[in-house]
Amino acid sequence: MLIEAFLEYLAFEKNYSKHTIQAYKTDLIAFKDFSAVEFDQEDLENIHYNQIRTWIVSLVNSGVSNRSVNRKVSSLKTFYKFLQKIGEVTTNPLASHKALKVQKKIQTPFDQNEVEEVLKLLNEASDFESIRDRLIVELLYSTGMRRIELINVKEKDVDHSKKAIKVLGKRNKERYVTILPSVYKTLEEYLSEKKAYEIENEEALFVTKKGVKIYETLVYRIINLYFSRVSTKAKKSPHILRHAFATHLLNNGASLNSVKELLGHSSLASTQVYTHNSLEQIKKVYNKAHPREST
């Protein structure tokens, strides 16, 4: 009952997505099952930290990465904060827990030449799917919107007079992203093709030929397919294109605060992960241009 109440709290008070809520549910049920087997205890409000620590050790020993363990423990910690809030527990057993150390992954964004090469490839064809895919790449790169945000854009979210799109971000936070003139031209071309195909789904902006709203794996496949032809980078995903958007803006003088707003981040801490590559670029420019370099 407590887990169900917690999940309802996440859905209705915190406005978390179904995907996020499912992740919390999976983590909590996994811990509950572990407690039942290891300690013959299903009563989660009477769990002690030593029991949780045993669970953490078992996860690490079974090969679960430190990053994944931290995420699972974070789910549990949030659950106990909720139990404190509703008076089911007086203390959070994870209040003093320190997260496991994780090695920071520096993701390398696509460079501008790679993006341009992909757009050239997409310009070679003029069928419905090619125009749609080109618009997907152009919007992800020129606005920095998340994959799920792009998928959920409706035709009515496009403000043609202001050349902007209303985007629904994390925790149902709305923001507007500007459409560049060249991208707007592709958008008009796509909408014209969509109408010509007499696709019945007029609500979702992006659809398949059959009128089905596009989905996450399809967007991933589109980005991976085209960027695999021009890039040797290890990861080729919509998120790396978002990463490129932020990095290229910072490289060209945009402020961190501006990029934060464009990305739809709630704090600067989330945006700062994109500064590594821009700092590397600044170092290169500095080392090349500083007068001491030539002495």
pLDDT in tens, 75-88: 999 999 999 999 99
Quick one: how many helices (H) and strands (E) in the chain?
Answer: 13, 3
Cα 210 to Cα 200: distance, rounded to the nearest angstrom: 8
Task: Map residue 95 onto helix, strand or coil.
Answer: coil
Cα 274 to Cα 107: distance, rounded to the nearest angstrom: 9
| Domain regions of the chain by residue span | 2-85, 112-236
The catalytic residues are 146, 170, 239, 242, 265, 274
pLDDT in tens, 196-225: 888 776 699 999 988 999 999 999 999 999
CA 11 to chain centre: 19
263: confidence class by pLDDT, cuts 50, 70, 90: confident
Average pLDDT for the chain: 89
- What is the mean predicted confidence (pLDDT) over 18-26? 93
pLDDT at residue 98 in the model? 93
Sequence-separated (6 or more) residues with CB below 8 Å from residue 247: 109, 274, 277, 278, 281
Buried b (16+ CB within 10 A) or exposed e, 177-206: bebeeebbebbeebbebbeeeebeeeebbb
For the 2-85 domain, the top CATH level (class) is: mainly alpha
Cα 173 to Cα 176: distance, rounded to the nearest angstrom: 10
pLDDT at residue 2 in the model? 92
CA 146 to chain centre: 5
Burial of 122 (0-12, 13-18, 19+ CB in 10 A): buried
Looking at domain 112-236, its CATH superfamily turns out to be: Intergrase catalytic core (1.10.443.10)
Residue pair 4/28 in contact by the 8 Å Cβ criterion:
no
**Domain 2-85 matches domain 112-236 at the CATH topology level:** no
Of 129-133, 192-196, 217-221, 265-269, least confident by mean pLDDT is: 265-269
Closest CA to 112 of 206, 264, 251, 220: 251
